[in-house]
Amino acid sequence: MLKIRMRLLGYFKLWFVVRRKARGNVWSGKAPCFFLLMLATFRPTAGEAAGIRDIVIPANANQPRIVAVLWTPCSIPAPEMLIDRDGFPTTIRAVRNCVVTRKNFPLILISHGMFEDRFSHHDTAEALADAGFAVVTLNHTQDSNHDIGGKSAADISSFLVRPIDIKRVLNFLLASPQAGLKVDQHRIGFFGFSRGGYTGLVLAGAQPDFDHITILCPENLLMCQQIKEHKIPAHSSGYEPRIKAFVIADPVNFFPSKSSLRNVWAPLQLWSSEYGGMGVRPEDVSALEMNLPVKPEFHRAIGAGHLSFDCPCSEDQVKANPPSVVCTDPKGFDRTVFHKQFDEEVVRFFREHLEE
């Protein structure tokens, strides 16, 4: 875990921009109570807990294998389970290999940020599974925490391959149902944070415009050199029409104009932290909101920094010395309280837009 801290600290020196001025509206729930009551009629059947099982998408001639976790509703109460994320112990609530007793699940795909992994948003995955969704979280092939120390995450190709990773996982689940799980192909959603937010926008139809970026991009970063020298590898559109609704949190914004977002028409819930960080500024997320052709459901998380969207940390991790960058929030911000509200809003949005 020390490698993660030091590598992230290095990126913070290059990328972290703090804004202490509040922008936009304070977070608030936007669905009237009577509307939520109506939605209950259409929501997926809720489970009592989350079941998990490990899955592996096999390598092919051009692409490495993808390690993922499948989360499903489970009727057995979930105990606490300690998992070791490469030296970063994390407690989740789940039942391993819980029997799947239903069919035709709505599916949510979750995409992490740089140097993160398939458990970085475990609380959101648990909440969605508890609410009746099947969820798949994955380690992206070029910029997960397994790539720390290498060059792959710094290469612009690490962005370009991300939508391909998601499509491979989706194709695998549809072609090779796991544990009897059947996915409802008309009810597929996506949640992505940071680089995962970029991934979701591309899957929704956005076209990155690397020639006219407005975000901060330090020239000593390899990808920024590639952008400046117009050395972007050829790549096809990442649009994925099977995904019907998107939740995007603090995305890396390579979409500087309305033209780069003109094909994004799916329902979208957009979140911005108040202070940003890691190359993501609140003003860039606000610009994205204004440039989308359909107004998204917008939330600003007051008091949050960029990494506040990652899963809550344990008390020991928060108090660690040296402190963990991943677990450090702006003064006065309670990540645990925020995530309870955040997860509820994510579940509500997907229930609304992926109803039967």
Every domain of the chain and the residues it spans = 2-353
Residues whose CB falls within 8 Å of the CB of residue 40, separated by 6 or more in sequence, listed in order: none
pLDDT, one tens digit per residue, over 4-22 is: 444 444 444 444 333 333 3
Q: Are 266 and 350 in contact (CB under 8 A)?
A: no
Task: Give the strands of the sheet with 66-74, arranged side by side.
Answer: 95-96, 49-57, 66-74, 134-138, 105-111, 183-193, 245-249, 268-273, 297-301
Q: What is the pLDDT of residue 355?
A: 85
pLDDT of residue 150: 64
What's the confidence (pLDDT) of residue 187?
98
Mean of all residue pLDDT scores within the chain? 86
Confidence (pLDDT) at 148? 67
For residues 139 and 46, give the distance between their C-alpha atoms in angstroms, rounded to a whole number. Answer: 27
Give the tens place of pLDDT for each residue, 141-159.
Answer: 999 988 766 678 899 999 9
- The one-letter code for the residue type at 8 is L
What pTM value is reported for the model?
A: 0.87
pLDDT at 48: 59
Q: How far apart are CA 1 and CA 8, in angstroms?
A: 11
How are the residues of the chain apportioned to helix, strand and coil, as percentages rounded to the nearest 5?
Answer: 35, 20, 45
Question: Which pLDDT score is estimated for 73?
Answer: 94
Residues 274-314 have pLDDT tens digits of: 999 998 999 999 999 999 999 999 999 999 999 999 999 98
Q: Is the pLDDT of residue 46 over 50?
A: no
CB 201 within 8 A of CB 257: no
CA dist 281 and 222 (Å) reads 20
Is-contact 119 92, C-beta < 8 A?
yes
Q: What pLDDT shows up at residue 183? A: 93
pLDDT reported for residue 217: 87
Highest mean pLDDT among 101-105, 113-117, 175-179: 113-117
Give the per-residue pLDDT at 270.
98
Does the pLDDT of residue 55 top 80, yes or no? Answer: yes
**3-state secondary structure at position 273:** strand
Mean pLDDT of the region 20-33? 39
Tell me, which fold does domain 2-353 have in CATH? Rossmann fold (3.40.50)
Local confidence band at 2 (pLDDT 50, 70, 90 cut-offs): very low
Q: What is the DSSP string of 31-93?
A: S-HHHHHHHTTTSPPP-SEEEEEEEEEPP-SSS--EEEEEEEEESSPPPEEEEESSS-EEEEE
pLDDT score of 33 more than 60:
no
Q: Classify 111 as helix, strand or coil.
A: strand
Phi-psi region of 104 (alpha: psi -120 to 50; beta: other; left: phi over 0): left
Helix (H, G, I), strand (E, B) or coil at 342: helix
What confidence tier does 321 reach under pLDDT thresholds 50, 70, 90? low
Strands 49-57 and 66-74, how do they pair?
antiparallel
